[in-house]
Structures are given as structure tokens and as C-alpha cells.
Amino acid sequence: MKFGFVRVLLLIAALFVAIPVHAEQRNFYKIGVITELSGDLVTGGNITKRGYDLWAQEVNAKGGIEVQGKKYQVKLVYADAQSNPAAGAAAAERLITQEKVDFILGPYSSGVTLAVAPVVDKYKVPMITGSAESPLIWKNKFKYTFGTIPPINFTGATSIKTLTELKPAPKTIAIIGSNDAFSKATAEAYKTAAEKAKLKIVKFSIVPSGQDMTPLLSAVRSMKPDVIAFGGHDEEHVKFVKALKQIGYTPKALLMHCGITDKAFTDAVGKDGEQIFGTTCWTGTAKTKSKVLWPTASAYAAASQKAFKNPGDYTQGGCSAAGIAFQTALQKVGAKPGMDEAMRAKLVQALEQIDVQTFYGRVKFATSGEFYHANVGLDPLTIQIQNGQIKTVGPKASVEAAAQYPMKEWKSR
Amino acid sequence: MMELLPQALTDGILLGGIYITIAIAFSLTYGVMHVIDFAVGEWIMFGAFTGYYLNKWTGLDPFIFLPVIFVIYFGVGYLVQPVIHRVLSGTKGNPFLMGLVFTFGLAIMFRGLALTAFGFYSNSIPSAFSEGSFNLDSIGLTVTIPTVRLMGLAYAVAITLILHYLLKKTNFGLGVRALAQHKDAAGLMGVNAKRTGSYVYGIYVGISAMTGVLLGCILSIGAQMGNEYTIFAFFVVVLAGMGYLAGVPWAALLLGLVQSIFMIYFNPSHTLLAVFVILYIILLISPRGLFGKGV
């Protein structure tokens, strides 16, 4: 009996071993998506999902991606990274070895991306993250990982520069970052830019993610900084604004980054969101022109509004642009579904060569230096929430509205 | 930097008030049912969303709804407890571990349910109390006390006093204490373990749900918010001594003060590490909590 059971086990094991690990023949692109569909970063994860889904819907509605005269539909296979780098890496392994995906659309967070990137390098499967912004990803020079959103050390300086050009010019700044790869990098990018702009940094602190920051902000209040800059995620932004209001301190300018361009932020904080500055690289009113899928940024925002009752923010847009980048590269090398390792290597070469105008702006991946494989085709923007709308207030060439400064006191709103 | 001390102490006490609200009913339910309910954060989350939607639909201040939310969730807890009781009183396997796994599973299921029902965005519950603050500048202290946090502390004190009264001055409380000491002996003395357990679990879920509304006014709410509060509830209860209700306010205030002072005077990124180290040292010296009276 016991021997029989062992034999059955051996038979099952043999079957697994016998399954050939080679590319599957199919008439559609099977695309793995690893993102945070549960856990602390679930909001961002679902925003990336919207971006990837919208791209896939639009591609399929147009009949698919045309390669050498034939159109192939796309099919997204999701894997939940659970806001946990280890779970993200395991998901990547499963998508590659079991699902045998052609390529991967990457996570929302930098932390998970940093865990997934070595796995895609190991199996030589190309990945584009439409969201992650930490410079650490690009400094590691992962051959198979690309990103459509420029790193925060590329974009962050623009907002600080915009603020220093306001009158009366701010002189002091307090910088706080949440303790995760992206938020820490954001705080550090603001610090470098502030030092360059000769702003006096009265406080620089990294705090544990998700914590109540009121005690720290009480200390910051005593230093009376003109500007407070915060690197964090959506939920932390809501807590941060509420804490500042509760202690009754209004800086001349409050600068935040990821998440505040999403309508949900203004819905959550209401009038307290007014006049908050942000760093981004895309808005739904950006002046972009494209021949691929959506002709302009506003056409994309309208499509998103129709699909999700939300015009989408720069993260969602970055994810749709990641799909477009793959689409362009596939067409360039004539890669059909069920790619082998050699074809995937060619796809990476094609990604390195593409220079395409999209609704998101220009997508052009750096092939050397500290931004290796990050998109360096975009111009960073400084935005401000004005009457519940996102308005570009800098740099000068992109201005949609004059910056409102200094901020109105919390109590007089 | 010493001029910040009064504010650091104030913030620590107010933060401690929040921890009391999270942990006190959690401790009560452990004392009686001897189960660590990993779903505590999710009861808080459900309460927060109930307050959020009631506020959205009626436009009334969420603090008005606290009694309504207590009644609703008392009913929910009362109905859920028999299921947990059944798991805990089983004869197969290790009932204590089965109870742990069961509440852990409940927490995961509730989180998924909330994600589907409420969506993935973070939200906030507006309240008139979120607007103002008290300034003590006039008496020479650079201290600001946000009204909403003061309300939180007042709520924590009120809940503590009510539970104290209930446990020490009523027949129901006598039954609860008897049950906590020895389930079989209490049963022989006429205490209905099942029904008393249901009442206690109902009270715990009701208080946790009200706490959710409060946290939504002070901080933010989201479908995944529960996990963080479960961890803090656990910290406080372990520090107080498992099941020792009277230790909870002191443990909560100690954790709040450690966090606040560390955030201001030391490296804020090591705040949670400091909390862990202090918890570890105290448990090393006194394994049954701060007062040595836990299980």
C-alpha cells in the first residue's frame, strides 16, 4: 500500500518533469501582470490595473496588435503581489514558468519591482513597469526591466524649482518621507533639489509607513518651515493633510507626490486638498499627440472616464503607455505570440531603440547611465489642486494656471 | 528641543487614547473567550465604513451615529460569537490554535469582502470636531490639542469607565469575571457561558466598530486598514498582560508616549523598533505584562 502511494507520487513528479519548458504556440499574446491587488498598496495596485486593462481593451477593440500583416489579441493574466516584495517575486516565477507569459507588465510599487526585476532577468522575460519610480531600480541596471514613468530623482527637482520661483520666495523646507523604496527616494530627491536651490532644510525625516505622524508634525510646526514636502502613498497623504490641519499649521506651500493627482484624493480630503502642490509627468490636459490608440491626453482621459468614471492619473496613464511601448517593440521586431528566448532578447533590443509619441508623451528608454531603461522622454510637471482640478503651474512652458501661493489657512477654507 | 516636551507628552497621551479604544474590548474578549481575535482590525474597518456611509447619506456628524453603530455591531458580534465558540469548544485538534486560525481566516475574508464592497480608495470621515484645536499658548505652553483627538481620549476614558462599572458593579460583570477565571466552575454556579460569551463578543465588536468611526475622523479609512490596528491591539494587550483589562489604559499610554517622544527626540524611522524593544524588555522582565497579572 505504502509502496503504491510512493509510486503514484513518483508518477506525478515524472509528469511534471516531462512537461516541456518551451514557448507555447498560440494566436494571442499572453501577458503577465504583477501588481498589488491586496495589502497596504491596494489603491495604487488597482490604479495600475486600470491602466493595463484600458490598454488591453483598446487594443482588442481594434482587433489586436498587428504583426507582419496579422492581428493578435492580448490576454492579461494577473498575479497579486499582495503589497509584498517576496509575494511579487513568487508571482513572477509562477507567471513565467507555469503560465509561460510572453512578457510582463510590472508592479505599482518600487519595492515589489525591485524584487521582481531579478526574477525576470533570470528567466530573460521583458518587463515594463508603468508605475515604479525609485532610482534604485535603474541604478541596478536590470537588462529585462523598463519603466514608463521617469524616476523621482529625474522629476522631483522641477517642483522644488517651481516653488523657489514663487513670490515671496520660500526660504525653509521640512522634508518627510515614508519608509518604503519609492517614498524614501521621493524625500531624498526633494532634499537634493532643495539643497541645490539653497533652501534651508529645517527637518529631514523618514518615518515608518502608515504611522500617525502628528507628533513629528508638531515638532516640525515649531520650526515654522515655509514649505513642507512629503513622500508617501495615497492613504498616508490623507493622514498627513488631516494631521497638519489638526495641529493647525499651514505652511506657505505643501508639496506631495504620488496619488494626489487622482480624483480620489480630492474626494477624500475635500477643500483641504486645495492649493496642494504635486510632482507629476502627465495630466489629462497635457498637450500630447499620438498615432497609437489614443490621439491625445484628453482622449485618453475621456476613455478612462467612460470605463472607470475616473479620468485617470499619471500612474494609470503610465501603465497604458507601458502597453503601447511593448506594442511598438513587438511590431518593430515582428515578434509573434509564444516567443522563445532569442525573440525575447530581440524584443529587449527593440524596446531600447523605440522612440514613440504616445498620449502620455514621448516614450524613450535610456540605454546607459543612472536612468538605464527608465523613460527619459517626458518633461516633469509641477501641478497644483485648484477648485478640485489638477492645474499645471510649472515649468513655465507648460503652465495652465498661475500658482496660488501662499496656501490659504486651513481654518479659513 | 526641551520646549517641545509638553507637546510630545500631549501627543503621546492622545495617541495612547487611540490605542486604548483599539485594545480595551479586544482584551475583554480575550479574557473571557481565551481567543486572540485577529479580526479586531476588520471590525474597526467595518465600523469606519458604516460611519462613512451614514455620514454621506444623512450629512450628520458621525459622532451622532456612535450609539447606532454600537447597536448594529453588537448584534453582529452576538450572532458571530456562537460560531467561534463552536470552534473553541471542539474536541478534535487543538481548539486554541483552531480559534486562532479561524479568526485569522475571518480577517482575510472580511478584508476581501470590504475590498469588493467599498473599493480600494482611501477615504476620510468629515466631522465638525476635526476642524478645531485648543491652544495653550495663553498659559505659556506651546501645546496644541486637536479637538477630535481630545474627543478620542474622552471616548477612551468613557469606554474604560463603563467597562469597569459593568465588570465590577453588575451581576453580568460578576458572571463575566467568573467565566474568565474558570469556565467550568462558573457554569456550575449558574453562569450561562454561551450567552455571556455572546454578550461579551457583541460588546467587543460594538466598541471596535465605534472606534473605527473615531479613527476615520482622526486618520483615514480604507479596506486594508485593519491589519495595522490588529497589530497595535495585540501589542497593547500583550504589554498590559493578556486578558488583564485594568492594564490596558496604562500599556496604551506607555506605547503612545514612547512613539511620540521617540518620533520627536530620536530617529523617527526607528520608532516601531523602539516600541518592539521596549515590549521585548518588559516581557523579558515580566512575562505576564506590565503588572504581572496577565495570563
Q: Are residues A136 and A181 in the same domain?
A: no
Q: Are residues A187 and A274 in the same domain?
A: yes
The pLDDT averaged over each successive group of 10 residues in chain B (295 residues) is 86 95 94 90 97 96 95 97 89 84 94 94 92 81 89 95 95 92 88 92 97 95 93 93 93 94 89 90 92 86
> Which chain A positions have a beta carbon within 8 Å of B225's beta carbon?
235
Q: Are residues A136 and A164 in the same domain?
A: no
A277-280 and A381-386 beta bridge pairing: antiparallel
Q: Are residues A255 and A293 in the same domain?
A: no
* CATH number of domain containing A228: 3.40.50.2300
| pLDDT digit string, tens, across residues A131-167 | 999 999 999 999 999 999 999 888 888 999 999 999 9
Q: Is A235 on the interface with B (CB under 8 A)?
A: yes
> Which chain A positions have a beta carbon within 8 Å of B130's beta carbon?
242, 245-246
> Which chain A positions have a beta carbon within 8 Å of B267's beta carbon?
205
Q: Is A124 on the interface with B (CB under 8 A)?
A: no
CB contact under 8 Å between B219 and A212, yes or no, is yes
Q: Are residues A35 and A100 in the same domain?
A: yes
> Has residue A18 been placed in a domain?
no
pLDDT computed for residue A12 by the predictor: 55
Contact between B52 and B214 under an 8 Å Cβ cutoff? The reply is no
Q: Are residues A231 and A119 in the same domain?
A: no
Candidates A108, A214, A223, partner chain B, best to mutate (most B CBs within 10 A): A214
**C-alpha pair distances (Å), A50 with each of A300, A344, A351:** 12, 26, 23
> Has residue A10 been placed in a domain?
no
Q: Are residues A96 and A227 in the same domain?
A: no
The CA distance from A40 to the nearest CA of chain B, in Å, is 6
pLDDT computed for residue B3 by the predictor: 81
| pLDDT digit string, tens, across residues A307-354 | 999 999 999 999 999 999 999 999 999 999 999 999 999 999 999 999
Q: Are residues A269 and A356 in the same domain?
A: no
Kindly write down the DSSP assignment for every residue of B213-264, as one continuous string.
Answer: HHHHHHS-B-TTTHHHHHHHHHHHHHHH-TT-GGGHHHHHHHHHHHHHHHHH
Q: Among residues 29-58 of chain A, which lie with CB inside 8 Å of chain B? A: 38-40, 42-43, 45-46
| pLDDT digit string, tens, across residues A351-386 | 999 999 999 999 999 999 999 999 999 999 999 999
Nearest chain A residue (CA) to B217: A242
Candidates A36, A40, A41, A42, partner chain B, best to mutate (most B CBs within 10 A): A42
Contact between A101 and A344 under an 8 Å Cβ cutoff? The reply is no
| pLDDT digit string, tens, across residues A288-303 | 999 999 999 999 999 9
> Which chain B positions have a beta carbon within 8 Å of A42's beta carbon?
115, 120, 222-224
> Domain range for residue A174?
153-280+380-412
Q: By three-state DSSP, how is residue A70 classified? A: strand
- What is the third-level CATH fold of B2-285? ABC transporter involved in vitamin B12 uptake, BtuC (1.10.3470)
pLDDT computed for residue B184 by the predictor: 86
CB contact under 8 Å between A179 and B115, yes or no, is no
ipTM associated with this complex: 0.89
pLDDT computed for residue A95 by the predictor: 97
> Which chain A positions have a beta carbon within 8 Å of B3's beta carbon?
222
- Residue A79: strand pairing partners: A34
Partner residue facing A206 (CB), from B11, B18, B268:
B268
pLDDT computed for residue A411 by the predictor: 86
> Has residue A393 been placed in a domain?
yes
Q: Are residues A200 and A62 in the same domain?
A: no
How many domains does one find in chain A? 2
Nearest chain B residue (CA) to A240: B219
pLDDT computed for residue B1 by the predictor: 67
CB contact under 8 Å between B7 and A214, yes or no, is no
pLDDT computed for residue A7 by the predictor: 59
Report, as an integer, the average pLDDT of A193-206: 95
pLDDT computed for residue A21 by the predictor: 43
Candidates B15, B52, B56, B120, partner chain A, best to mutate (most A CBs within 10 A): B120
> Has residue A308 been placed in a domain?
yes
CB contact under 8 Å between B120 and A43, yes or no, is yes
Q: Are residues A261 and A332 in the same domain?
A: no
- Per domain, the residue ranges of chain B are 2-285
Q: Are residues A138 and A82 in the same domain?
A: yes
**Using N-to-C axis directions, what is the helix angle for A214-223 and B5-33, rounded to 10°?**
180
List, in sequence order, the alpha helices (H) in B59-139. Answer: 66-88, 95-118
Partner residue facing A222 (CB), from B142, B224, B260:
B142
